[in-house]
Amino acid sequence: MAFDDVKILSKKILIGIVIYLVPLIIIGGGLWLLTHLPNK
Amino acid sequence: MAQNNTLTKNIGRDVTISLFIYALPVVAVYWYFVAQGQAPWLNNAHTPVAFSAPKFFNFIQPVFKNLQTWGFIVIALVLGIIEFSLGLYDNHWTKSERAIDIVCFIAPKVLLTPITAFFGLQLLPFVLPHFQNVFSWVPFWGGVFVIAIADDLTQYWYHRLHHQLPLLWRFHRTHHSAPYMGMAMASRQNFIYTVFFSQIYLTATLVYLGLGYAALFVTVIKSIITLSAHSSIAWDKPLYKYKALHPVAWVLERLISTPATHHAHHADTTDDGVGYYKGNFGNMFFIWDVIFGTGIITRQYPMSFGTKHYKQEEWYAQFLWPIFKSKKAGSELSAGGPQVAEDLPAPATLAVNQRDGRAAAIPA
Question: Does A23 contact B44 at a Cβ distance shorter than 8 Å?
Answer: no
Contacts of B69 (CB under 8 A, 6+ apart): B109, B113
Rounded Cα gap, residues B152 and B291, in angstroms = 14
Residue B182, by phi and psi: left (phi above 0), alpha (psi -120 to 50) or beta?
A: left
Mean pLDDT of B309-331: 94
All residues of chain A having their beta carbon less than 8 Å from the beta carbon of residue B41 are 31, 34-35, 37
Pick B161's closest partner by Cβ from A2, A9, A15. A15
**Coil vs helix vs strand at B360:** strand
Chain B positions touching A23 (Cβ under 8 A) are 22, 150, 153-154, 202
Name the pLDDT band for B195 (thresholds 50, 70, 90).
very high
Average pLDDT in the B204-219 region?
90
- Residue B285 DSSP code: B
CB pairs under 8 A between A and B: 82
Using a CB-CB cut-off of 8 Å, the residues of chain B touching A12 are: 167-168, 171, 192, 196
Confidence class of residue B349 from pLDDT cuts 50, 70 and 90? very low
Distance from CA of B248 to the nearest CA of A (A): 31
Mean pLDDT of chain A: 91
Distances in Å between the Cα of B183 and the Cα atoms of B43, B219, B226, B228, B353 are 46, 18, 10, 9, 22
**Nearest Cα residue to B158 out of B124, B192, B182:** B192
pLDDT class of B360 with cuts at 50, 70, 90: very low
Provide the number of structural domains found in chain A. 1
B7 domain residue, yes or no: no
What is the per-residue DSSP string for B92-161? ---HHHHHHHHHHHHHHHHHHHHHHHHIIIIIHHHHSTT-TTTTTTS-HHHHHHHHHHHHHHHHHHHHHH
Which segment of A11-15, B38-42, B47-51, B86-90 scores lowest on mean pLDDT? B47-51
| Residue B54: inside a domain | yes
Is the Cβ pair B167, A11 closer than 8 Å?
Answer: yes
Residue B191 has pLDDT above 90, yes or no: yes
Higher pLDDT, B92 or B139: B139
Domain coverage including residue B99? 41-233
- Residue B211 C-alpha, separation from nearest chain A C-alpha, in angstroms: 11
What number is the average pLDDT over the span B352-360?
Answer: 38
pLDDT digits (tens, 9 = 90+) for B163-175: 999 999 999 999 9
Q: What is the pLDDT of residue B184?
A: 84
Residue B299, strand partner residues: none
pLDDT at B45 over 90: no
Minimum Cα–Cα distance from A32: chain B residue = B135
Predicted pLDDT of residue B344:
55
Give me the percent of chain B exceeding a pLDDT of 70.
80
Give the SS3 label for residue B350. strand
Rounded average pLDDT over B233-240: 94
Average pLDDT value for residue range B342-350: 51
Q: Given B44, B161, B209, which is nearest A28 (Cβ)?
A: B209
Containing domain of residue A31, as a range? 1-40
* Site from A15, A21, A25, A39 to mutate, B interface, most B CB atoms within 10 angstroms: A15
Nearest by CB to B322, from A8, A15, A19: name it.
A8
Residue B309 scores a pLDDT above 70: yes
Q: What is the pLDDT of residue B355?
A: 37
Is the distance from CB of B321 to CB of B333 less than 8 angstroms?
Answer: yes
What is the structure's pLDDT at B325? 95
Q: Is the CB of residue A10 less than 8 Å away from at least one CB of chain B?
A: no
Instruction: Flag if B134 and A35 touch (Cβ within 8 Å).
Output: yes
Q: Which residue of A has its CA nearest to B207?
A: A28
Determine, for residues B30 and A16 on separate chains, whether the beta-carbon distance falls below 8 Å: no
Query: What is the pLDDT, as a whole number, of residue B220?
Result: 86
pLDDT of B358 > 50? The answer is: no
pLDDT for residue B339 is more than 70: yes
Quote the minimal CA–CA distance from B345 to chain A in Å. Answer: 25
Average pLDDT over chain B, rounded to whole? 85
Q: Strands B349-353 and B359-363: what pairing?
A: antiparallel
Is B101 a member of any domain?
yes
For chain A, give the percent of residues with pLDDT over 90.
Answer: 72
pLDDT at B109: 81
Q: Is residue B79 part of a domain?
A: yes
Q: How many angstroms separate the CA atoms of B336 and B325, rounded?
A: 10
What length does chain B have? 364
Interchain CB contact of A23 with B (< 8 Å): yes
Neighbouring CB atoms inside 10 A of B182's CB total 24
Residue B202 resides in a domain: yes
Task: List pLDDT tens digits, range B251-287.
Answer: 999 999 999 999 999 999 888 888 998 999 999 999 9
Average pLDDT for B216-245: 92
Contact B22 A22 (CB under 8 A): yes
Domains held by chain B: number: 1
Residue B1 scores a pLDDT above 70: no
Task: List the single residue in B19, B30, B161 with the smallest CB-CB distance to A34.
Answer: B30
For residue A13, list chain B residues with Cβ-Cβ distance below 8 A. 196
Q: Is residue B154 part of a domain?
A: yes
In this prediction, residue B36 has a pLDDT band, given cuts at 50, 70 and 90, of: confident
pLDDT band at B63 (very low <50, low <70, confident <90, very high): low
A16 contacts on B by Cβ (under 8 Å): 158, 196-198
Q: For residue B4, what pLDDT band results from cuts at 50, 70 and 90?
A: confident
- Asked if the C-beta of A14 comes within 8 angstroms of chain B's C-beta atoms, the answer is no
Q: Is B135 left (phi over 0), alpha (psi -120 to 50) or beta?
A: alpha
